[in-house]
Structure 1
Amino acid sequence: MTAEDELVHTIKHCVLFIQKNELEKAEQLLHVALRQAQQIHHQLGITYIYDVMANLALQREQLEKAKNLFVAVTQRIMTDGASEDDPRVIHLSVKLARVTHLQKDYTTAQIGYDWCLEKLKQLFERDPSDNNKQLLAMAEDWYGRLFLDVDRCEEGLRLMKTSLDRMKEIPDVEKEHLVVQLNDIGTVCDRLGQTDESIQYFNEAIEMANTLEMDDLGTMYVNLGRAYMKRQLLDAARKSCGHAWKLGVMSKNKEVKKEAESCIKQINNLL
Structure 2
Amino acid sequence: MATSMGRRLGQSLKNTAQIITLQWNRRDGFKTARSHVYSVCKPKRMALAGSGLGISYALFGFSFGKKDDEEKDELTEAYRNARLAHARGDLKKADELYHDALKIATEQMAAKKITQEKLITSRTLMYDGLADIALQTGQIENAEMLYKETMKGCLSQGMAQDANAIVELALKLASIYAIQGKKEEAEEGYKFCLQATQPKMEEREKLWRAGKGGSLVKKKRADVTGQPEEMEVSEQEEVELNTAALLGMTLGSYGRFLLYERRYQEALPLFEKARLYAENTLGTESNQYIVVLNDLATLYIVTKNLSEAEKILKDGIKISDSAKLGEGASLYCNLGAVYLRKGQTMEAMSACKTGLELAQVFDHKTAYKMAEACLHKGVNVLSGTAHTKPTT
TM-score (norm 1): 0.82
Cα deviation for residue 135 of structure 1 reads 0.8
Q: 1:213 to 1:22 in 2, by over 3 A?
A: farther
Q: Is residue 2:138 matched to residue 1:61?
A: yes
Q: 1:59 to 1:173 in 2, by over 3 A?
A: farther
1:241–1:263 CA contact under 8 A, matched in 2: no
For 1:258 and 1:92, the matched residues in 2 are separated by 35
Deviates more, 1:101-110 or 1:117-126: 117-126
The letter of the residue matching 2:201 is: F
Alignment of 1:82-231 (within 5 A): 82-125=159-202, 129-171=240-282, 175-210=286-321, 211-212=323-324, 214=326, 217=329, 220-231=331-342
The letter of the residue matching 2:244 is: K
**Structure 2: gaps of 5 or more residues:** 1-68, 110-117, 204-235
Match of 1:263 among 361, 378, 384: 378
2:70–2:77 CA contact under 8 A, matched in 1: no
Q: Is residue 2:35 matched to residue 1:35?
A: no
The letter of the residue matching 1:259 is: C
2:345–2:378 CA contact under 8 A, matched in 1: no
Cα deviation for residue 222 of structure 1 reads 3.4
Cα deviation for residue 246 of structure 1 reads 6.1
Aligned residues: 270
Cα deviation for residue 80 of structure 1 reads 1.6
Cα deviation for residue 117 of structure 1 reads 1.0
Q: 1:248 to 1:265 in 2, by over 3 A?
A: farther
2:290–2:328 CA contact under 8 A, matched in 1: no
2:290–2:327 CA contact under 8 A, matched in 1: no
2:283–2:289 CA contact under 8 A, matched in 1: no
The letter of the residue matching 2:253 is: W
Percent identical among aligned pairs is 24
For 1:35 and 1:171, the matched residues in 2 are separated by 40
For 2:360 and 2:246, the matched residues in 1 are separated by 38
Q: 1:207 to 1:39 in 2, by over 3 A?
A: farther
Cα deviation for residue 204 of structure 1 reads 3.9
Q: 1:197 to 1:12 in 2, by over 3 A?
A: farther
SS at match of 2:162: coil
Deviates more, 1:193-202 or 1:163-172: 163-172
For 1:85 and 1:204, the matched residues in 2 are separated by 36
Q: 1:191 to 1:27 in 2, by over 3 A?
A: same
Deviates more, 1:8-17 or 1:121-130: 121-130
Q: 1:61 to 1:245 in 2, by over 3 A?
A: closer
**Structure 1: gaps of 5 or more residues:** none
The letter of the residue matching 2:292 is: Q
Cα deviation for residue 184 of structure 1 reads 3.0
Q: 1:238 to 1:46 in 2, by over 3 A?
A: closer
1:106–1:146 CA contact under 8 A, matched in 2: no
The aligned counterpart of 2:152 is 75
Cα deviation for residue 169 of structure 1 reads 1.2
Q: Is residue 2:355 matched to residue 1:239?
A: no
The letter of the residue matching 2:135 is: L
For 1:123 and 1:246, the matched residues in 2 are separated by 42
The letter of the residue matching 2:240 is: S
SS at match of 1:35: helix
1:182–1:205 CA contact under 8 A, matched in 2: yes
Q: Which of the pair is proportionally richer in helix?
A: 1
Structure with the greater relative contact order (CA < 8 A, sep ≥ 6): 1 or 2?
A: 2
2:75–2:105 CA contact under 8 A, matched in 1: yes
Deviates more, 1:28-37 or 1:10-19: 10-19
